[in-house]
Amino acid sequence: WNFFSSVKTGVWLIVLTLIASALGTVLPQADYIPSNVDPSEYYENQYGWFGKLWYTLGFDNLYNSWWYLL
């Protein structure tokens, strides 16, 4: 229980959320890419290996992902 009540843990969670939000703002979400293109191919073609990783981790719909809504 002490782990979750730690100030350090709280600060890290806020920082991680801030970084994810910034990346979600800079990179287009699934709603804003062309509908006639496969999202995985789009992210890989536009951003290379980072785009593929982004899509694989489910960050293409970041603001509705389970971990972001926690």
Chain segment 26-37, per-residue pLDDT in tens: 888 888 888 898
Domain count, the chain: 1
Please answer whether residues 12 and 19 qualify as being in contact, where contact means their C-beta atoms are separated by less than 8 angstroms.
Answer: no
Residue-number span of the structural domain to which 17 is assigned: 7-69
Q: Is residue 1 part of a domain?
A: no
Element (H, E) at 15: helix 7-26
Query: Is residue 61 included in any domain, yes or no?
Result: yes
Q: How confident is the model at residue 8 (pLDDT cuts 50, 70, 90)?
A: very high
